[in-house]
Structure 1
Amino acid sequence: MQLEEVPRVGNISKESFLNDYFRPQKPVVIKGAIEKWPAYTKWNLDYMREVAGSKIVPLYDDRPVDHRDGFNEPHARMPMTDYIDLLKSKPTRYRIFLWNILKEVPQLQSDFEYPDFGLRLMKALPMLFFGGRDSYTFMHYDIDLANIFHFHFEGEKEILLFPQTENRVLYKVPHSLIAHEGIDFSAPDFEAWPALKYARGFKTYLSHGDVLYMPEGYWHYMRYLTPGFSMSLRAIARNPRNLSKAFYNLLIMRSYDNLMRRWKGQSWIDWKNQQAIERTHKGISPSVF
Protein backbone atom coordinates (compact mmCIF):
# COMPACT_ATOMS: atom_id res chain seq x y z
CA MET A 1 0.00 0.00 0.00
CA GLN A 2 1.13 3.52 -0.73
CA LEU A 3 0.74 5.33 2.57
CA GLU A 4 1.80 8.79 3.60
CA GLU A 5 1.90 10.16 7.12
CA VAL A 6 -1.07 12.21 8.23
CA PRO A 7 0.12 15.80 8.84
CA ARG A 8 0.48 16.78 12.49
CA VAL A 9 -0.11 20.39 13.48
CA GLY A 10 -0.34 22.48 16.64
CA ASN A 11 -3.57 23.94 17.93
CA ILE A 12 -4.63 25.61 14.66
CA SER A 13 -7.21 28.30 14.03
CA LYS A 14 -10.67 27.58 12.66
CA GLU A 15 -9.79 29.37 9.44
CA SER A 16 -6.62 27.32 8.92
CA PHE A 17 -8.48 24.09 9.58
CA LEU A 18 -11.24 24.93 7.11
CA ASN A 19 -8.89 26.14 4.39
CA ASP A 20 -6.12 23.57 4.72
CA TYR A 21 -7.98 20.39 5.69
CA PHE A 22 -11.78 20.53 5.59
CA ARG A 23 -12.28 22.11 2.17
CA PRO A 24 -9.64 19.92 0.43
CA GLN A 25 -10.88 16.94 2.52
CA LYS A 26 -7.50 15.96 3.91
CA PRO A 27 -6.94 14.25 7.28
CA VAL A 28 -4.90 15.92 10.02
CA VAL A 29 -3.81 15.22 13.59
CA ILE A 30 -4.23 18.27 15.83
CA LYS A 31 -2.03 18.58 18.91
CA GLY A 32 -2.91 20.66 21.95
CA ALA A 33 -6.56 21.23 21.06
CA ILE A 34 -8.01 19.71 24.24
CA GLU A 35 -5.41 20.47 26.90
CA LYS A 36 -7.84 22.83 28.66
CA TRP A 37 -10.55 20.20 28.91
CA PRO A 38 -10.98 18.57 32.34
CA ALA A 39 -11.02 15.30 30.38
CA TYR A 40 -7.41 15.86 29.34
CA THR A 41 -6.20 15.24 32.89
CA LYS A 42 -9.11 13.19 34.26
CA TRP A 43 -9.98 10.67 31.58
CA ASN A 44 -8.17 7.36 31.90
CA LEU A 45 -9.28 3.78 32.42
CA ASP A 46 -9.38 4.11 36.21
CA TYR A 47 -11.62 7.17 35.98
CA MET A 48 -13.96 5.37 33.61
CA ARG A 49 -14.19 2.51 36.09
CA GLU A 50 -15.06 5.03 38.80
CA VAL A 51 -17.85 6.81 36.94
CA ALA A 52 -19.23 3.95 34.85
CA GLY A 53 -18.15 0.75 36.61
CA SER A 54 -21.66 -0.57 37.19
CA LYS A 55 -22.79 -0.03 33.59
CA ILE A 56 -23.28 -3.14 31.45
CA VAL A 57 -21.37 -2.44 28.24
CA PRO A 58 -21.71 -4.02 24.78
CA LEU A 59 -18.56 -5.73 23.49
CA TYR A 60 -17.40 -6.58 19.97
CA ASP A 61 -14.51 -8.69 18.70
CA ASP A 62 -12.96 -9.45 15.32
CA ARG A 63 -15.00 -12.52 14.38
CA PRO A 64 -16.25 -12.54 10.76
CA VAL A 65 -19.74 -11.28 10.05
CA ASP A 66 -22.37 -13.98 10.53
CA HIS A 67 -25.83 -13.85 8.97
CA ARG A 68 -27.37 -14.33 12.41
CA ASP A 69 -25.80 -11.10 13.68
CA GLY A 70 -27.96 -8.01 13.57
CA PHE A 71 -26.59 -4.65 12.47
CA ASN A 72 -24.02 -3.59 15.11
CA GLU A 73 -25.23 -6.36 17.43
CA PRO A 74 -22.70 -6.93 20.28
CA HIS A 75 -20.93 -10.26 20.73
CA ALA A 76 -20.89 -10.09 24.54
CA ARG A 77 -21.75 -7.88 27.50
CA MET A 78 -20.17 -7.32 30.91
CA PRO A 79 -19.96 -4.65 33.62
CA MET A 80 -17.57 -1.83 32.75
CA THR A 81 -15.51 -2.53 35.86
CA ASP A 82 -14.89 -6.11 34.72
CA TYR A 83 -14.08 -4.97 31.19
CA ILE A 84 -11.50 -2.43 32.38
CA ASP A 85 -9.93 -5.04 34.64
CA LEU A 86 -9.70 -7.29 31.59
CA LEU A 87 -8.09 -4.53 29.50
CA LYS A 88 -5.46 -3.91 32.15
CA SER A 89 -4.67 -7.55 32.87
CA LYS A 90 -4.09 -9.08 29.42
CA PRO A 91 -4.63 -8.61 25.68
CA THR A 92 -8.25 -9.01 24.59
CA ARG A 93 -10.06 -8.71 21.29
CA TYR A 94 -13.11 -7.22 22.97
CA ARG A 95 -13.88 -3.60 22.10
CA ILE A 96 -16.59 -1.13 23.03
CA PHE A 97 -18.06 0.46 19.93
CA LEU A 98 -20.34 3.53 19.60
CA TRP A 99 -21.07 3.96 23.33
CA ASN A 100 -23.16 7.12 23.75
CA ILE A 101 -21.91 8.89 26.87
CA LEU A 102 -24.85 11.32 27.04
CA LYS A 103 -27.18 8.36 27.43
CA GLU A 104 -24.97 6.14 29.57
CA VAL A 105 -22.93 8.54 31.78
CA PRO A 106 -24.28 12.10 31.38
CA GLN A 107 -21.84 13.53 33.94
CA LEU A 108 -18.97 12.98 31.50
CA GLN A 109 -20.33 15.80 29.35
CA SER A 110 -19.03 18.32 31.90
CA ASP A 111 -15.47 17.13 31.18
CA PHE A 112 -15.33 18.28 27.56
CA GLU A 113 -16.49 21.00 25.19
CA TYR A 114 -17.70 20.94 21.60
CA PRO A 115 -14.75 22.59 19.82
CA ASP A 116 -15.31 25.20 17.15
CA PHE A 117 -13.57 23.85 14.07
CA GLY A 118 -16.02 25.65 11.82
CA LEU A 119 -18.39 22.68 11.46
CA ARG A 120 -21.69 22.16 13.26
CA LEU A 121 -21.16 19.09 15.42
CA MET A 122 -23.94 16.64 16.27
CA LYS A 123 -24.14 17.30 20.00
CA ALA A 124 -26.40 14.32 20.69
CA LEU A 125 -23.82 11.81 19.46
CA PRO A 126 -20.56 11.88 21.46
CA MET A 127 -19.41 8.25 21.21
CA LEU A 128 -16.74 6.36 23.14
CA PHE A 129 -14.62 3.50 21.78
CA PHE A 130 -12.47 1.21 23.95
CA GLY A 131 -10.02 -1.53 22.99
CA GLY A 132 -7.41 -3.89 24.43
CA ARG A 133 -3.90 -4.37 23.17
CA ASP A 134 -3.87 -5.67 19.56
CA SER A 135 -7.63 -5.42 19.18
CA TYR A 136 -8.73 -3.76 15.97
CA THR A 137 -11.64 -2.67 13.84
CA PHE A 138 -12.18 -4.05 10.35
CA MET A 139 -11.42 -1.61 7.56
CA HIS A 140 -14.70 0.27 7.13
CA TYR A 141 -16.33 3.64 6.69
CA ASP A 142 -19.22 5.07 8.66
CA ILE A 143 -22.78 4.66 7.44
CA ASP A 144 -23.46 8.41 7.41
CA LEU A 145 -20.15 9.39 5.71
CA ALA A 146 -19.76 12.11 8.36
CA ASN A 147 -16.82 14.37 9.11
CA ILE A 148 -15.31 12.83 12.24
CA PHE A 149 -13.13 14.28 15.01
CA HIS A 150 -11.52 11.44 16.96
CA PHE A 151 -10.14 12.41 20.39
CA HIS A 152 -7.79 9.85 21.89
CA PHE A 153 -7.27 9.15 25.60
CA GLU A 154 -4.75 6.82 27.23
CA GLY A 155 -2.50 4.44 25.35
CA GLU A 156 -1.55 4.41 21.69
CA LYS A 157 -3.48 3.57 18.56
CA GLU A 158 -2.43 2.93 14.95
CA ILE A 159 -4.76 4.16 12.21
CA LEU A 160 -4.91 3.63 8.43
CA LEU A 161 -7.11 5.91 6.33
CA PHE A 162 -8.30 5.81 2.71
CA PRO A 163 -10.61 8.18 0.81
CA GLN A 164 -13.65 6.91 -1.08
CA THR A 165 -11.66 7.17 -4.32
CA GLU A 166 -9.85 3.99 -3.28
CA ASN A 167 -12.99 1.83 -3.14
CA ARG A 168 -12.00 -0.02 -6.30
CA VAL A 169 -8.80 -1.46 -4.75
CA LEU A 170 -9.91 -2.07 -1.14
CA TYR A 171 -11.98 -5.21 -1.78
CA LYS A 172 -15.17 -3.46 -0.72
CA VAL A 173 -17.95 -5.88 0.20
CA PRO A 174 -21.12 -4.98 -1.73
CA HIS A 175 -24.19 -3.85 0.24
CA SER A 176 -21.85 -3.22 3.17
CA LEU A 177 -19.50 -0.64 4.64
CA ILE A 178 -16.48 -2.92 5.09
CA ALA A 179 -13.54 -4.33 3.18
CA HIS A 180 -13.14 -8.10 2.92
CA GLU A 181 -12.65 -9.41 6.44
CA GLY A 182 -9.93 -11.83 5.37
CA ILE A 183 -7.46 -8.97 4.91
CA ASP A 184 -4.98 -8.23 7.69
CA PHE A 185 -4.42 -4.53 7.14
CA SER A 186 -1.63 -4.44 9.71
CA ALA A 187 0.44 -6.78 7.49
CA PRO A 188 -1.40 -7.32 4.18
CA ASP A 189 -0.59 -10.34 2.01
CA PHE A 190 -0.17 -8.80 -1.44
CA GLU A 191 -0.06 -12.23 -3.08
CA ALA A 192 -3.57 -12.94 -1.84
CA TRP A 193 -4.82 -9.35 -2.20
CA PRO A 194 -2.81 -7.85 -5.07
CA ALA A 195 -5.00 -4.79 -5.64
CA LEU A 196 -4.00 -3.45 -2.22
CA LYS A 197 -0.55 -2.62 -3.57
CA TYR A 198 -2.19 0.24 -5.46
CA ALA A 199 -4.23 1.64 -2.59
CA ARG A 200 -3.22 5.23 -1.73
CA GLY A 201 -3.94 6.35 1.79
CA PHE A 202 -2.62 7.61 5.08
CA LYS A 203 -1.16 6.25 8.29
CA THR A 204 -0.83 7.77 11.74
CA TYR A 205 -0.50 7.03 15.43
CA LEU A 206 -2.52 8.60 18.21
CA SER A 207 -1.54 9.11 21.83
CA HIS A 208 -3.23 10.86 24.75
CA GLY A 209 -4.72 14.21 23.76
CA ASP A 210 -4.36 13.82 19.99
CA VAL A 211 -7.31 14.78 17.79
CA LEU A 212 -7.65 13.12 14.37
CA TYR A 213 -9.85 14.70 11.72
CA MET A 214 -11.21 12.10 9.28
CA PRO A 215 -12.89 13.64 6.21
CA GLU A 216 -16.25 12.57 4.86
CA GLY A 217 -16.60 8.86 4.16
CA TYR A 218 -12.96 8.02 4.85
CA TRP A 219 -12.21 4.34 5.30
CA HIS A 220 -10.48 3.65 8.63
CA TYR A 221 -8.72 0.71 10.25
CA MET A 222 -7.80 1.18 13.91
CA ARG A 223 -5.53 -1.04 15.99
CA TYR A 224 -4.90 -0.54 19.69
CA LEU A 225 -1.19 -0.85 20.43
CA THR A 226 -1.98 -0.59 24.14
CA PRO A 227 -5.28 -0.57 26.05
CA GLY A 228 -7.04 2.77 25.63
CA PHE A 229 -10.11 4.62 24.49
CA SER A 230 -11.24 7.47 22.28
CA MET A 231 -14.24 9.74 21.79
CA SER A 232 -15.68 10.72 18.41
CA LEU A 233 -17.69 13.80 17.54
CA ARG A 234 -19.17 14.11 14.09
CA ALA A 235 -20.55 16.67 11.66
CA ILE A 236 -22.94 15.87 8.84
CA ALA A 237 -21.49 15.36 5.36
CA ARG A 238 -21.45 18.59 3.33
CA ASN A 239 -20.74 17.11 -0.10
CA PRO A 240 -24.16 16.49 -1.75
CA ARG A 241 -22.99 13.19 -3.21
CA ASN A 242 -21.83 11.93 0.20
CA LEU A 243 -25.03 13.16 1.82
CA SER A 244 -27.15 11.26 -0.71
CA LYS A 245 -25.04 8.13 -0.11
CA ALA A 246 -25.63 8.52 3.63
CA PHE A 247 -29.41 8.63 3.15
CA TYR A 248 -29.22 5.62 0.83
CA ASN A 249 -27.16 3.66 3.38
CA LEU A 250 -29.49 4.49 6.26
CA LEU A 251 -32.81 4.12 4.47
CA ILE A 252 -32.22 1.42 1.85
CA MET A 253 -28.89 -0.41 1.99
CA ARG A 254 -29.05 -1.42 5.66
CA SER A 255 -32.65 -2.67 5.38
CA TYR A 256 -31.94 -4.56 2.15
CA ASP A 257 -28.87 -6.25 3.63
CA ASN A 258 -30.78 -7.32 6.76
CA LEU A 259 -33.60 -8.68 4.59
CA MET A 260 -31.19 -10.72 2.49
CA ARG A 261 -29.47 -12.11 5.58
CA ARG A 262 -32.79 -13.39 6.87
CA TRP A 263 -33.76 -14.81 3.46
CA LYS A 264 -30.48 -16.26 2.18
CA GLY A 265 -28.63 -16.88 5.46
CA GLN A 266 -24.89 -17.42 5.38
CA SER A 267 -24.91 -17.90 1.62
CA TRP A 268 -25.65 -14.16 1.31
CA ILE A 269 -22.56 -13.29 3.38
CA ASP A 270 -20.42 -15.75 1.42
CA TRP A 271 -21.66 -14.35 -1.90
CA LYS A 272 -20.86 -10.79 -0.86
CA ASN A 273 -17.33 -11.75 0.19
CA GLN A 274 -16.71 -13.50 -3.10
CA GLN A 275 -18.10 -10.53 -5.00
CA ALA A 276 -15.68 -8.25 -3.17
CA ILE A 277 -12.81 -10.22 -4.68
CA GLU A 278 -14.26 -10.67 -8.17
CA ARG A 279 -15.37 -7.06 -8.58
CA THR A 280 -12.06 -5.69 -7.35
CA HIS A 281 -10.00 -7.87 -9.68
CA LYS A 282 -12.33 -7.22 -12.60
CA GLY A 283 -11.97 -3.49 -12.13
CA ILE A 284 -8.17 -3.56 -12.23
CA SER A 285 -6.12 -3.71 -15.42
CA PRO A 286 -4.78 -7.22 -16.14
CA SER A 287 -1.27 -5.74 -16.15
CA VAL A 288 -1.61 -5.22 -12.39
CA PHE A 289 -1.60 -8.99 -11.86
Structure 2
Amino acid sequence: MELNLEQIPREQTLSEKEFIQKYFKPQKPVVIERFVEDWPAYTKWNLDYIKEVAGEKIVPLYDDRPVKHDEGFNEPHATMKMRDYIDLLKSEPTKYRIFLWNLLKEVPQLQYDFSFPKFGLRLMKGLPMMFFGGSNSHTFMHYDIDLANIFHFHFEGKKKCILFPQSETKFLYKIPHSLITREDIDFANPDLEKWPALEFAKGFTTHLEHGNVLYIPEGYWHHMKYITPGFSMSLRAIARKPRNFGKAVYNILFMRHFDNAMRKIKGQEWIDWKNEKAVTRTHSLLYGK
Protein backbone atom coordinates (compact mmCIF):
# COMPACT_ATOMS: atom_id res chain seq x y z
CA MET A 1 0.00 0.00 0.00
CA GLU A 2 1.05 3.58 -0.58
CA LEU A 3 0.50 6.91 1.13
CA ASN A 4 -2.78 8.66 0.37
CA LEU A 5 -1.35 11.54 -1.66
CA GLU A 6 -3.09 13.88 -4.07
CA GLN A 7 -1.17 15.63 -6.83
CA ILE A 8 -0.65 19.30 -6.05
CA PRO A 9 -2.43 21.54 -8.60
CA ARG A 10 -0.16 23.17 -11.15
CA GLU A 11 -0.66 26.58 -12.76
CA GLN A 12 1.34 28.21 -15.55
CA THR A 13 1.18 31.53 -13.71
CA LEU A 14 -1.11 33.27 -11.23
CA SER A 15 -2.18 36.83 -10.55
CA GLU A 16 -2.15 38.09 -6.98
CA LYS A 17 -5.96 37.97 -6.84
CA GLU A 18 -6.11 34.42 -8.21
CA PHE A 19 -3.49 33.21 -5.75
CA ILE A 20 -5.26 34.74 -2.74
CA GLN A 21 -8.68 33.40 -3.70
CA LYS A 22 -7.75 29.92 -4.94
CA TYR A 23 -4.85 28.97 -2.67
CA PHE A 24 -4.04 31.33 0.21
CA LYS A 25 -7.53 31.73 1.67
CA PRO A 26 -8.31 27.99 1.57
CA GLN A 27 -4.69 27.23 2.57
CA LYS A 28 -4.04 24.82 -0.29
CA PRO A 29 -0.65 24.19 -1.95
CA VAL A 30 0.06 24.98 -5.59
CA VAL A 31 2.95 24.74 -8.04
CA ILE A 32 3.40 27.75 -10.33
CA GLU A 33 5.44 26.61 -13.31
CA ARG A 34 6.41 29.80 -15.14
CA PHE A 35 6.37 32.58 -12.57
CA VAL A 36 10.10 33.45 -12.53
CA GLU A 37 11.08 33.38 -16.19
CA ASP A 38 11.73 37.14 -16.15
CA TRP A 39 14.17 36.85 -13.24
CA PRO A 40 17.89 36.93 -14.11
CA ALA A 41 18.12 33.93 -11.77
CA TYR A 42 16.06 31.87 -14.21
CA THR A 43 18.90 31.83 -16.74
CA LYS A 44 21.86 32.38 -14.39
CA TRP A 45 21.28 30.19 -11.37
CA ASN A 46 22.80 26.76 -11.57
CA LEU A 47 25.40 24.94 -9.48
CA ASP A 48 28.29 26.26 -11.56
CA TYR A 49 27.15 29.86 -11.07
CA ILE A 50 26.79 29.39 -7.29
CA LYS A 51 30.26 27.86 -7.24
CA GLU A 52 31.59 30.92 -9.08
CA VAL A 53 30.04 33.56 -6.79
CA ALA A 54 30.12 31.71 -3.46
CA GLY A 55 32.90 29.15 -3.88
CA GLU A 56 35.02 30.36 -0.95
CA LYS A 57 32.15 30.52 1.54
CA ILE A 58 32.20 27.95 4.35
CA VAL A 59 28.80 26.27 4.42
CA PRO A 60 27.06 24.17 7.10
CA LEU A 61 26.18 20.63 6.06
CA TYR A 62 23.54 18.24 7.39
CA ASP A 63 22.86 14.57 6.70
CA ASP A 64 20.11 12.14 7.70
CA ARG A 65 21.61 10.83 10.94
CA PRO A 66 19.14 10.66 13.86
CA VAL A 67 18.97 13.55 16.30
CA LYS A 68 21.37 13.15 19.25
CA HIS A 69 20.90 14.54 22.72
CA ASP A 70 24.26 16.34 22.67
CA GLU A 71 23.58 18.23 19.44
CA GLY A 72 22.05 21.69 19.60
CA PHE A 73 19.02 22.92 17.67
CA ASN A 74 19.90 22.82 13.93
CA GLU A 75 23.60 22.18 14.68
CA PRO A 76 25.48 21.20 11.46
CA HIS A 77 27.15 17.83 11.06
CA ALA A 78 30.05 19.13 8.97
CA THR A 79 31.35 22.21 7.15
CA MET A 80 32.99 22.64 3.75
CA LYS A 81 33.81 25.31 1.19
CA MET A 82 30.92 25.80 -1.20
CA ARG A 83 33.10 24.98 -4.22
CA ASP A 84 34.11 21.65 -2.69
CA TYR A 85 30.53 20.87 -1.76
CA ILE A 86 29.30 21.55 -5.29
CA ASP A 87 32.10 19.40 -6.71
CA LEU A 88 30.91 16.64 -4.37
CA LEU A 89 27.29 17.07 -5.48
CA LYS A 90 28.25 16.76 -9.12
CA SER A 91 30.61 13.81 -8.70
CA GLU A 92 28.65 11.33 -6.55
CA PRO A 93 25.51 10.86 -4.45
CA THR A 94 25.86 12.39 -0.97
CA LYS A 95 23.62 12.68 2.07
CA TYR A 96 24.97 16.14 2.83
CA ARG A 97 22.51 19.00 2.45
CA ILE A 98 22.57 22.73 3.12
CA PHE A 99 19.49 24.35 4.58
CA LEU A 100 18.58 27.79 5.90
CA TRP A 101 21.59 29.41 4.18
CA ASN A 102 20.94 33.16 4.12
CA LEU A 103 21.97 34.30 0.67
CA LEU A 104 21.67 38.05 1.37
CA LYS A 105 24.04 37.72 4.31
CA GLU A 106 26.50 35.39 2.57
CA VAL A 107 26.46 36.59 -1.05
CA PRO A 108 24.66 39.96 -1.30
CA GLN A 109 25.09 40.19 -5.07
CA LEU A 110 22.59 37.37 -5.54
CA GLN A 111 19.79 39.72 -4.46
CA TYR A 112 19.97 41.39 -7.87
CA ASP A 113 19.02 38.14 -9.60
CA PHE A 114 15.47 37.99 -8.26
CA SER A 115 12.64 40.23 -7.07
CA PHE A 116 10.16 39.73 -4.24
CA PRO A 117 6.95 38.60 -5.92
CA LYS A 118 3.60 40.23 -5.22
CA PHE A 119 1.48 37.42 -3.86
CA GLY A 120 -0.59 39.67 -1.60
CA LEU A 121 1.44 38.70 1.48
CA ARG A 122 4.16 40.71 3.19
CA LEU A 123 7.32 38.67 2.63
CA MET A 124 10.22 38.77 5.09
CA LYS A 125 12.77 40.51 2.88
CA GLY A 126 15.72 39.82 5.15
CA LEU A 127 15.25 36.06 5.13
CA PRO A 128 15.62 34.54 1.67
CA MET A 129 17.01 31.10 2.52
CA MET A 130 18.71 28.59 0.22
CA PHE A 131 18.71 24.79 0.32
CA PHE A 132 21.03 22.40 -1.53
CA GLY A 133 21.08 18.62 -1.86
CA GLY A 134 22.62 15.73 -3.77
CA SER A 135 20.97 12.78 -5.50
CA ASN A 136 18.67 10.86 -3.14
CA SER A 137 19.38 13.13 -0.15
CA HIS A 138 16.28 14.10 1.77
CA THR A 139 14.89 16.08 4.67
CA PHE A 140 13.04 14.51 7.56
CA MET A 141 9.31 15.14 7.49
CA HIS A 142 8.97 18.41 9.41
CA TYR A 143 7.23 21.75 9.61
CA ASP A 144 8.89 25.10 10.14
CA ILE A 145 9.25 26.57 13.60
CA ASP A 146 7.39 29.76 12.65
CA LEU A 147 4.59 28.00 10.69
CA ALA A 148 5.15 30.53 7.90
CA ASN A 149 3.63 30.72 4.44
CA ILE A 150 6.49 29.52 2.23
CA PHE A 151 7.23 30.14 -1.46
CA HIS A 152 9.82 27.56 -2.48
CA PHE A 153 11.62 28.36 -5.77
CA HIS A 154 13.55 25.47 -7.28
CA PHE A 155 16.65 25.71 -9.50
CA GLU A 156 18.53 23.01 -11.39
CA GLY A 157 17.67 19.36 -11.14
CA LYS A 158 14.51 17.76 -9.86
CA LYS A 159 13.10 16.96 -6.45
CA LYS A 160 10.04 15.27 -5.02
CA CYS A 161 7.93 16.98 -2.36
CA ILE A 162 5.38 15.45 0.02
CA LEU A 163 3.15 17.73 2.10
CA PHE A 164 0.62 17.21 4.88
CA PRO A 165 -1.56 19.86 6.55
CA GLN A 166 -1.49 20.20 10.33
CA SER A 167 -4.85 18.41 10.47
CA GLU A 168 -3.04 15.15 9.66
CA THR A 169 -0.48 15.46 12.49
CA LYS A 170 -2.28 12.81 14.54
CA PHE A 171 -1.37 10.18 11.93
CA LEU A 172 2.28 11.17 11.34
CA TYR A 173 4.11 9.92 14.45
CA LYS A 174 5.10 13.41 15.52
CA ILE A 175 7.95 13.65 18.03
CA PRO A 176 6.80 15.53 21.19
CA HIS A 177 8.42 18.93 21.84
CA SER A 178 9.77 18.91 18.30
CA LEU A 179 8.95 19.81 14.69
CA ILE A 180 9.68 16.41 13.11
CA THR A 181 8.15 12.95 12.81
CA ARG A 182 9.93 9.70 13.63
CA GLU A 183 13.20 9.89 11.73
CA ASP A 184 13.17 6.18 10.84
CA ILE A 185 10.09 6.59 8.64
CA ASP A 186 10.98 6.62 4.94
CA PHE A 187 8.21 8.81 3.55
CA ALA A 188 9.39 8.09 0.00
CA ASN A 189 8.66 4.38 0.57
CA PRO A 190 7.02 3.91 3.98
CA ASP A 191 6.46 0.57 5.70
CA LEU A 192 2.74 0.82 6.45
CA GLU A 193 2.77 -2.39 8.47
CA LYS A 194 5.27 -0.84 10.88
CA TRP A 195 3.64 2.62 10.73
CA PRO A 196 -0.08 1.82 10.20
CA ALA A 197 -1.41 5.28 11.07
CA LEU A 198 0.20 6.72 7.92
CA GLU A 199 -2.43 4.92 5.86
CA PHE A 200 -5.04 7.39 7.18
CA ALA A 201 -3.04 10.58 6.53
CA LYS A 202 -4.21 12.60 3.53
CA GLY A 203 -1.48 14.65 1.88
CA PHE A 204 -0.10 16.07 -1.34
CA THR A 205 2.83 15.37 -3.62
CA THR A 206 4.58 16.88 -6.64
CA HIS A 207 7.90 17.11 -8.46
CA LEU A 208 9.74 20.42 -8.85
CA GLU A 209 12.00 21.32 -11.76
CA HIS A 210 14.03 24.41 -12.64
CA GLY A 211 11.96 27.58 -12.36
CA ASN A 212 9.00 26.04 -10.52
CA VAL A 213 7.69 27.64 -7.33
CA LEU A 214 5.80 25.65 -4.70
CA TYR A 215 3.48 27.42 -2.27
CA ILE A 216 3.53 25.64 1.12
CA PRO A 217 0.68 26.91 3.30
CA GLU A 218 1.03 27.79 6.98
CA GLY A 219 2.44 25.03 9.13
CA TYR A 220 2.32 22.32 6.46
CA TRP A 221 4.52 19.31 7.07
CA HIS A 222 7.00 18.83 4.21
CA HIS A 223 9.46 16.17 3.08
CA MET A 224 11.87 16.93 0.23
CA LYS A 225 13.86 14.33 -1.68
CA TYR A 226 16.42 15.41 -4.30
CA ILE A 227 16.11 13.20 -7.37
CA THR A 228 19.18 14.90 -8.86
CA PRO A 229 21.56 17.52 -7.41
CA GLY A 230 19.95 20.93 -7.16
CA PHE A 231 19.02 23.83 -4.94
CA SER A 232 16.07 26.00 -3.96
CA MET A 233 15.33 29.37 -2.41
CA SER A 234 12.49 29.98 0.04
CA LEU A 235 10.74 33.28 0.71
CA ARG A 236 8.34 33.42 3.62
CA ALA A 237 5.51 35.42 5.15
CA ILE A 238 4.46 35.17 8.79
CA ALA A 239 1.50 33.01 9.74
CA ARG A 240 -1.75 34.96 9.42
CA LYS A 241 -4.08 32.59 11.28
CA PRO A 242 -4.05 33.48 15.01
CA ARG A 243 -3.77 29.81 16.03
CA ASN A 244 -0.71 29.29 13.84
CA PHE A 245 0.87 32.58 14.90
CA GLY A 246 0.40 31.55 18.53
CA LYS A 247 2.06 28.19 17.88
CA ALA A 248 4.97 29.97 16.20
CA VAL A 249 5.51 32.23 19.20
CA TYR A 250 5.36 29.22 21.54
CA ASN A 251 7.85 27.24 19.43
CA ILE A 252 10.35 30.08 19.22
CA LEU A 253 10.14 31.40 22.77
CA PHE A 254 9.58 28.18 24.73
CA MET A 255 9.53 24.83 22.93
CA ARG A 256 13.02 24.77 21.43
CA HIS A 257 14.62 26.06 24.65
CA PHE A 258 12.73 23.50 26.77
CA ASP A 259 13.80 20.69 24.43
CA ASN A 260 17.46 21.78 24.51
CA ALA A 261 17.35 21.96 28.31
CA MET A 262 15.86 18.47 28.60
CA ARG A 263 18.55 17.07 26.28
CA LYS A 264 21.21 18.44 28.62
CA ILE A 265 19.46 17.19 31.76
CA LYS A 266 18.32 13.73 30.65
CA GLY A 267 20.60 13.04 27.68
CA GLN A 268 19.75 10.18 25.34
CA GLU A 269 16.99 9.06 27.70
CA TRP A 270 15.03 12.17 26.62
CA ILE A 271 15.43 11.36 22.92
CA ASP A 272 14.43 7.72 23.46
CA TRP A 273 11.35 8.75 25.48
CA LYS A 274 10.24 11.16 22.75
CA ASN A 275 10.64 8.51 20.04
CA GLU A 276 8.61 6.01 22.05
CA LYS A 277 5.96 8.58 22.88
CA ALA A 278 5.52 9.41 19.19
CA VAL A 279 4.38 5.82 18.60
CA THR A 280 2.25 5.35 21.70
CA ARG A 281 0.43 8.67 21.25
CA THR A 282 -0.27 8.06 17.58
CA HIS A 283 -1.52 4.52 18.14
CA SER A 284 -3.64 5.52 21.14
CA LEU A 285 -5.45 8.01 18.93
CA LEU A 286 -5.72 5.44 16.14
CA TYR A 287 -6.88 2.47 18.21
CA GLY A 288 -8.36 4.23 21.22
CA LYS A 289 -5.90 2.60 23.62
TM-score category, normalised to shorter length: over 0.9
Amino acid at match of 1:218: Y
Q: Given residue 177 of structure 1, which amino acid in structure 2 is its aligned partner?
A: L
Cα distance, 1:286 vs structure 2: 5.7
Matches within 5 A, 1:141-152: 141-152=143-154
CA distance in 2, matches of 1:225, 1:181: 20
**Aligned: 1:229 with 2:234:** no
Amino acid corresponding to residue 169 of structure 1 in structure 2: F
Q: Identity of counterpart residues, as a percentage?
A: 69
Q: What whole-Å deviation, never above 9, does each CA across 1:83-137 have from its counterpart, x for those lacking one?
A: 0000000000000010000110000000000000100000000000000000000
1:212 to 198, 211, 214: 214
Q: Which residue identity lines up with residue 163 of structure 1 in the other structure?
A: P
Partner of 1:56: 58
- 5 Å-filtered alignment, 1:106-145, equals 106-145=108-147
Distance 1:101 1:225 in 2: 23
CA distance in 2: counterparts of 1:255 and 1:286, whole angstroms: 32
Amino acid across the alignment from 2:238: I
SS in 1 for 2:187: coil
Q: Deviations over 1:137-165 (max 9, x none)?
A: 00000000000000000000000000000
Q: Which runs of 5+ in 1 are unaligned?
A: none
Q: How far 1:11 moved relative to its partner? A: 1.0
Read off the aligned partner of 2:91 and give its amino acid letter.
S
Distance 2:177 2:127 in 1: 25
Report the equivalent of 2:266. 264
C-alpha separation between the residues in 2 aligned to 1:77 and 1:252? 29
Counterparts of 2:288 and 2:237, CA distance in 1 = 40
Structure 2: how far apart are the matches of 1:118 and 1:286?
43
Report deviation, 1:46: 0.1
Letter matched to residue 280 of structure 1: T
CA RMSD of aligned residues (A): 0.8
| Partner Cα separation in structure 1 for residue 104 and residue 156 of structure 2 | 21
- In the alignment, the residues of structure 2 paired with residue 37 and residue 236 of structure 1 have an alpha-carbon distance, to the nearest angstrom, of 24
Displacement of 1:217 in angstroms is: 0.1
1-side partners of 2:89 and 2:134: how far apart?
5
Instruction: Give the superposition deviation at 1:10.
Output: 1.3
- Pick the aligned partner of 1:21 from 20, 23, 40: 23
- SS of structure 2 residue aligned to 1:232: strand
2:37 is aligned to: 35
1:171 Cα shift? 0.2
Tell me by how many angstroms 1:285 deviates: 3.1
1:6 corresponds to which residue?
A: 8
Residue 85 (structure 1) aligns with:
87
TM-score by length of 2: 0.99
TM-score (norm 1): 0.99
Task: Mark the runs of 5 or more structure 2 residues left unpaired by the alignment.
Answer: none
State how far apart, in whole Å, the 1-side matches of 2:184 and 2:81 are: 31
The answer to whether 1:97 aligns with 2:96 is no
